[in-house]
A and B are shown apart, each in its own frame.
Chain A
Amino acid sequence: MSSLPYARSVAQPAQPAPRRAQAALLDALFARGVKLLMVVLLVVGLALPLIAMLGKVVEVQNGLAGVWQFVSSSRFLWLLGNSVKVSLSTVALVVPLAYVFAYAMQRSWIPGKRLLRSISLLPLMAPSMLSAIALIYLFGNQGMLKSWFPDGIYGFSGILLGQAFYNFPMALMILVSALGLADARLYDASVSMGANHWKTFVNVTWPGTRYAVFAASCLVFTQTITNFGIPVVIGGDYQVLAMEAYKSVVGQQKFSEGALIGSILLVPALISFAVDAWMRRLRGSQVSSQAATYVAPRNRVRDTVLLLAAGAIALALLSLVLVAVGASLINFWPYDLSFSLRHYDFETSGGVGWLAYRNSLTLAGLTALIGTPIIFTCAYLMEKTRGGWFDGLLRLLCMLPMAVPGLVMGLGYVFFFNHPGNPLGGMYGGIALMVLCCVMRFLTPAQMTATTALRQLNDEIEAASLSLKVPLATTYWRVTVPICLPALLEVFRYLFVSSMTSVSALIFLYSPDTVLAAVAVLNLDDSGNVGAAAALASLILLTSALVSVALYLISRGLLVHTQHWRSARV
Chain B
Amino acid sequence: MASIPGHISTMPLSVQGIGKSFGNLSVLSDVSLEVAAGELVCLLGPSGCGKTTLLRIIAGLERQDAGRLLIGPRDISRAHPQERDYGILFQSYALFPNLTIEQNIGYGLSTRNLLRSQIRERVAQMLELVGLTASATKYPGQLSGGQQQRVGLARALAPSPSLLLLDEPMSALDAKVREHLRQELRSLQQQLGITTVMVTHDQDEAMVMADRIAVMNQGRIEQFDTPENIYRYPATPFVANFVGHANWLDYQSVSDGRVHLGPLSLQLDKAVAGGPGRLFCRPEVLRIDNQAQASNSVAAQVKHKLFMGNRYRLTVELEQLQGQPLVADISADLGAAPLDAERVWLTFPPHGMQAFPGGAV
Q: Could you list which residues of chain A lie within 8 angstroms of chain B, going by C-beta atoms?
A: 1-10, 12-17, 19-21, 23-24, 27, 458, 460-461, 463-471, 474-475, 478-479, 482-483, 562, 564-570
Please name all residues of chain A whose beta carbon is closer than 8 Å to the beta carbon of B107 when the two chains form the complex: 465, 468, 470
Q: In the complex where A465-B107, A565-B141, A570-B148 touch, is A460 in contact with B4 (Cβ < 8 A)?
A: no
Please name all residues of chain B whose beta carbon is closer than 8 Å to the beta carbon of A460 when the two chains form the complex: 90-92, 94
* B96 & A9 in contact (Cβ 8 Å cutoff): no
* A467 & B87 in contact (Cβ 8 Å cutoff): yes
Please name all residues of chain A whose beta carbon is closer than 8 Å to the beta carbon of B122 when the two chains form the complex: 4
Size category, B interface = 35 or more
Q: How far is the CB of B194 from chain A (nearest CB, A)?
A: 12
- Checking B2, B7, B93, B99 against A7 with a beta-carbon cut-off of 8 angstroms, the contacting residue is B7
Please name all residues of chain A whose beta carbon is closer than 8 Å to the beta carbon of B18 when the two chains form the complex: none
Q: In the complex where A6-B114, A14-B85, A483-B98 touch, is A468 in contact with B80 (Cβ < 8 A)?
A: no
* B5 & A2 in contact (Cβ 8 Å cutoff): yes
Q: How far is the CA of A247 from the CA of B346 in the complex (A)?
A: 99
* A21 & B83 in contact (Cβ 8 Å cutoff): yes
Return 18 A-B CB contacts under 8 Å, by A number. A4-B5, A4-B118, A6-B114, A14-B71, A14-B85, A27-B82, A460-B92, A463-B94, A467-B87, A467-B108, A468-B108, A470-B107, A478-B96, A478-B99, A479-B99, A565-B140, A566-B141, A570-B97
Q: How far is the CB of B36 from chain A (nearest CB, A)?
A: 14
* B82 & A20 in contact (Cβ 8 Å cutoff): yes
Grouping DSSP codes into helix (H, G, I), strand (E, B) and loop, the B interface class, with mixed when no group exceeds half, is loop
* B110 & A470 in contact (Cβ 8 Å cutoff): yes
Type the 1/0 row for B40-83, where 1 means its CB is closer than 8 Å to any CB of A. Answer: 00000000000000000001110000000001111000011111
Most buried by B among A461, A468, A568, A570: A468
B143-179: which have CB < 8 Å to A?
A: 148, 155-156, 159-160, 162, 165
Please name all residues of chain B whose beta carbon is closer than 8 Å to the beta carbon of A27 when the two chains form the complex: 80, 82
Contacts between chains A and B (CB distance < 8 A), count: 152
Q: Looking across the interface, which residue of chain A has its beta carbon closest to that of B4?
A: A1
Check B10 for interface membership: any CB of A closer than 8 A: yes
Please name all residues of chain B whose beta carbon is closer than 8 Å to the beta carbon of A562 when the two chains form the complex: 98
* B87 & A8 in contact (Cβ 8 Å cutoff): no
- Checking A20, A23, A24, A565 against B98 with a beta-carbon cut-off of 8 angstroms, the contacting residue is A565
Q: How far is the CA of A478 from the CA of B67 in the complex (A)?
A: 36
Q: How far is the CB of A199 from chain B (nearest CB, A)?
A: 41
* A14 & B9 in contact (Cβ 8 Å cutoff): yes
- Checking B2, B97, B108, B160 against A565 with a beta-carbon cut-off of 8 angstroms, the contacting residue is B97
Q: How far is the CA of A422 from the CA of B251 in the complex (A)?
A: 85
- With A7-B6, A14-B74, A24-B83 given, name 6 new contacts (CB 8 A): A463-B88, A466-B61, A466-B82, A467-B108, A479-B98, A568-B140
Q: How far is the CA of A252 from the CA of B93 in the complex (A)?
A: 65
Q: How far is the CA of A173 from the CA of B81 in the complex (A)?
A: 42
Q: How far is the CB of A460 from chain B (nearest CB, A)?
A: 4
Check B125 for interface membership: any CB of A closer than 8 A: yes
Check B112 for interface membership: any CB of A closer than 8 A: yes
* A10 & B98 in contact (Cβ 8 Å cutoff): no
Please name all residues of chain B whose beta carbon is closer than 8 Å to the beta carbon of A483 when the two chains form the complex: 97-98
- Checking A13, A463, A466 against B74 with a beta-carbon cut-off of 8 angstroms, the contacting residue is A13
Q: Looking across the interface, which residue of chain A has its beta carbon closest to that of B139?
A: A565
- Checking A5, A24, A570 against B80 with a beta-carbon cut-off of 8 angstroms, the contacting residue is A24
Q: Looking across the interface, which residue of chain A has its beta carbon closest to that of B112?
A: A6
Q: How far is the CA of A471 from the CA of B83 in the complex (A)?
A: 11
* A20 & B93 in contact (Cβ 8 Å cutoff): no
Check B24 for interface membership: any CB of A closer than 8 A: no
Check B310 for interface membership: any CB of A closer than 8 A: no
Q: How far is the CA of A27 from the CA of B97 in the complex (A)?
A: 22
* B94 & A15 in contact (Cβ 8 Å cutoff): no
Please name all residues of chain B whose beta carbon is closer than 8 Å to the beta carbon of A466 when the two chains form the complex: 59-61, 80-82
Check B142 for interface membership: any CB of A closer than 8 A: yes
Q: How far is the CA of A4 from the CA of B118 in the complex (A)?
A: 8
Q: How far is the CA of A467 from the CA of B2 in the complex (A)?
A: 27
Q: How far is the CB of B7 from chain A (nearest CB, A)?
A: 4
Q: How far is the CA of A564 from the CA of B140 in the complex (A)?
A: 10
- Checking B74, B98, B156 against A15 with a beta-carbon cut-off of 8 angstroms, the contacting residue is B74
Please name all residues of chain A whose beta carbon is closer than 8 Å to the beta carbon of B322 when the two chains form the complex: none
Q: In the complex where A2-B125, A469-B108 touch, is A10 in contact with B9 (Cβ < 8 A)?
A: yes
Please name all residues of chain A whose beta carbon is closer than 8 Å to the beta carbon of B160 when the two chains form the complex: 6-8
Q: How far is the CA of A17 from the CA of B125 in the complex (A)?
A: 23
Q: How far is the CB of A200 from chain B (nearest CB, A)?
A: 37
Q: How far is the CA of A2 from the CA of B122 in the complex (A)?
A: 10
Please name all residues of chain B whose beta carbon is closer than 8 Å to the beta carbon of A24 when the two chains form the complex: 80-83
Q: How far is the CB of B92 from chain A (nearest CB, A)?
A: 5
Q: How far is the CB of A18 from chain B (nearest CB, A)?
A: 10
Q: How far is the CB of B97 from chain A (nearest CB, A)?
A: 5
Type the 1/0 row for B97-129, where 1 means its CB is closer than 8 Å to any CB of A. Answer: 111000000011011111000100110010000
- Checking B1, B81, B139 against A564 with a beta-carbon cut-off of 8 angstroms, the contacting residue is B139
Check B86 for interface membership: any CB of A closer than 8 A: yes
